[in-house]
Amino acid sequence: MSIKWYRNSITEAMHQCTSLSDFKKKYRGAFNTMERNGWEDLKMEIPGFHPHIGYHASKSKLKWTREAISAVIKQCPSLAYFHDHYDQAARVLRKNRWNDLLDLIPRKHSKPIIWTEELITDIISKCNNRNEFCTEYAAAYQAMRRNGWHHLLDSIPRNQRGETTETEWSVYRWLFPESHSVYIGISNNYARRIYQELRYSYSSPVHDHLVSTGDSYRITELHHELSAAEAADLEIAYIEKYRNEGYNVLNRNRGGSLGGYKRQGISIDDERLLTIIRETYHNYAEFKANGGRLYKECKARKLLDALFHTMPGGTGYEKYSKAELRALLSRYMTLGDFIKAHHGEYRYILSHKWHDILHERGFSPRESKMPKIPDTLGEIVEKINRGDLTQTEAAKIIGLTTHYFRKFTKGMIHQDITMQPRHANQVNTGTGQPGKRVRPSRSKESILAEIDRRFNTLSEFRNAKTFYRKVKRWGLYHDASDLLKKKQAEHASYMVL
């Protein structure tokens, strides 16, 4: 009877040989299988074999013809099996593009479904609501969306909010005898939930409790085949029961949390939902990050504004408390390290004038880099409004940057006074009253002549940004535009001729 050799069985045979020649004599079939499949790396398993001595990667002695590959493929149960056990044959097949031979391998997957409106309509008729269709027949739902056949859903009712008819929920208990602790939970997938809580701290307090205490535990499924509302009520009851009996209850709230509920399982009024969220999460940011379906439910019910204005982290609360910032400061030996790591928190301390928590650590607030408001600012502003000075000239005179000059004079200067400096050839043609523009001494004709000389198209004129802004400020943009459009049209008509 012939033996079918695999990689592991060939390796075991090699361990019983003293050399490659000995292996070839004792196990000729295994040697041929190794050569045929190109498993040259297995020779390293032979005692005493060195890759630099007598090692030459040989080609398979079996000629992989189309007929030979066809015969091998017919014996393979799957495509993966063919690639794993006949690697060299697969390479020859790809090289010669004999992909039609792969049709001889039985495929586990059926041919793709051709989705039609009639087929999807028939599937929808078997569903009780839209949610069932979307979840149980995901491929059909995606085909409907892809083809834009949304009208097919008109014959099926929308998902009803309120009590669900499904009874898939369980109530379970974690009991920790050494610390006399207990945790009560609910889930619609009991086995998966236990796995998650045992391994991940974000699922529940169970993982962190086991890591910190090393307690033993017992898990009990107290009830099963419950509706979502029944499970939530029982969770609340069990938590209250164990608290009254003196247990250390690990649950952070009174129970009935809906974070893992399906949408159609929520049968709770708005007030109770908000109460549970406030008891479960410390602030609005934590709720938004970890609320999951609870957050989506509140968004659907339009309750997010109410939570934002009433939970810590919203507009009705301080972003940081003094205690939090004091604890944060205690981690740093110098003020520079604290500012480098928490610049936003440092600015928050200064804006709220909580300098006392800096002094407690022996820190002194850094001096502000903002310049002082000069005493002559009022006189300078009057000169600007009279047209005697531009804002740029005034900023240079009192030694301020443009940014701080605008900041200190906000609302004091007339809006039509520009920041641009006056040139020597500019004169004030106004009456000296505030708001009059400074116009150039040049005539309109000379400005348009310069535009005609420098530019051929309107786009070239716009790219000369400084000159372009000046022309607009002088009120000559439309004249310049008409000039260049006419020039461009004449050039185009000349090219046609």
| pLDDT over threshold 50, residue 380 | yes
Scanning 301-342, the segments in alpha helix (DSSP H) are: 304-310, 322-329, 335-341
Q: What are the tens digits of pLDDT across the range 410-440?
A: 878 875 544 444 444 444 444 444 444 556 6
For residues 385 and 472, membership in a common domain is answered with no
62 and 30 part of one domain: yes
Range of the domain at 418: 377-440
Q: Phi, psi (5° rounding) for residue 98?
A: -95, 50
Q: Are residues 381 and 452 in the same domain?
A: no
Question: Looking at the predicted structure, is the pLDDT value of residue 494 above 70?
Answer: no
* DSSP secondary structure letter of residue 47: T
Task: Check whether residue 42 and residue 93 sit in a common domain.
Answer: yes
What mean pLDDT comes out for the span 466-492? 85
- pLDDT at position 318 over 70: no
What is the DSSP annotation of 223-258?
EEEE-HHHHHHHHHHHHHHHHHTT-EE--SSSS---
Please tell me the predicted confidence (pLDDT) of residue 25.
Answer: 80
pLDDT digits (tens, 9 = 90+) for 152-203: 888 777 654 444 445 678 899 999 988 899 999 888 888 888 888 888 776 7
pLDDT for the residue 183: 93
Q: What is the mean pLDDT of residues 352-368?
A: 82
Mean pLDDT of 301-324: 72
Residues 57 and 131 in one domain: no
**57 phi and psi, to 5 degrees?**
-65, 110
Examine residue 255 and state whether it is found in any structural domain, yes or no.
Answer: no
Tell me how far apart the 2 most distant CA atoms of the chain are, in Å.
118
* 349 domain-assigned: yes
Regarding whether 91 and 50 lie in a shared domain, the answer is yes
433 and 450 in one domain?
Answer: no
Q: Check residues 433 and 472 and name the one with the higher pLDDT.
A: 472
Neighbours of 494 (CB within 10 A): 8
pLDDT value of residue 54: 43
Residue 321 clears pLDDT 70, i.e. is over it: yes
**pLDDT value of residue 306:** 80
Picking from 417, 440, 463, the residue at the C-terminal end of a domain is 440
Cα–Cα dist 14/7, whole Å = 11
**pLDDT score of 60 more than 60:** no
Average pLDDT rounded to a whole number, residues 197-216: 83
Identify the pLDDT of residue 276. 77
Instruction: Please state whether the predicted TM-score (pTM) of the whole model is above 0.75.
Output: no
In-domain check, residue 422: yes
296 or 252: which carries more pLDDT confidence? 296
Domain end call among 400, 420, 440: 440
Q: Are residues 85 and 144 in the same domain?
A: no
In a domain, 111, yes or no: no
Which amino acid type is present at position 342?
Answer: H
- Decide if pLDDT at 316 tops 60: no
pLDDT of the residue at 184: 92
Question: Are residues 129 and 46 part of one domain?
Answer: no
Same domain, 435 and 448: no
Show which of 333, 360, 387 is a domain's final residue.
Answer: 360
- Take residue 338 and report the two structure tokens written for it: 């604290």
Confidence of residue 368 (pLDDT cuts 50, 70, 90): low
Kindly state whether residues 134 and 88 are assigned to the same domain.
Answer: no
Does the pLDDT of residue 116 top 80, yes or no?
yes
Exposure letters 96-107 (e unless 16+ CB within 10 A, then b) = eeeeebeeebee
Distance CA 345, CA 319 (A): 10
In total, the chain counts a number of residues equal to: 497
Structural domain includes residue 470: yes
Structure tokens of 108?
């586990």
Q: Shortest CA distance to 346 belongs to which of 364, 373, 362? A: 364
| pLDDT computed for residue 182 by the predictor | 93
Average pLDDT, the chain: 77
pLDDT of residue 429: 41
Residue 342: inside a domain = yes
**Inter-residue contact 166 to 143 (CB < 8 Å):** no
With a pLDDT cut of 90, the percent of the chain lying above it is 2
Give me the pLDDT at residue 418, please. Answer: 46
Main-chain dihedrals φ then ψ at residue 108, nearest 5 degrees: -80, -25
CB atoms inside a 10 Å sphere around CB 301: 15
What residue type is 157 in one-letter code?
A: P
Establish if 306 belongs to a structural domain: no
Give the separation between CA 387 and CA 383, rounded to whole angstroms.
6
Q: Which of 23-32, 54-63, 372-381 has the lowest mean pLDDT?
A: 54-63
In a domain, 309, yes or no: no
Question: C-alpha distances in angstroms, 249 versus 57, 179, 230, 233?
Answer: 67, 11, 21, 17
Q: How many domains does the chain have?
A: 5
What is the tens place of the pLDDT at every residue in 256-296? 654 443 334 455 677 777 877 877 777 777 777 777 777 88
Whether 36 and 65 share a structural domain: yes
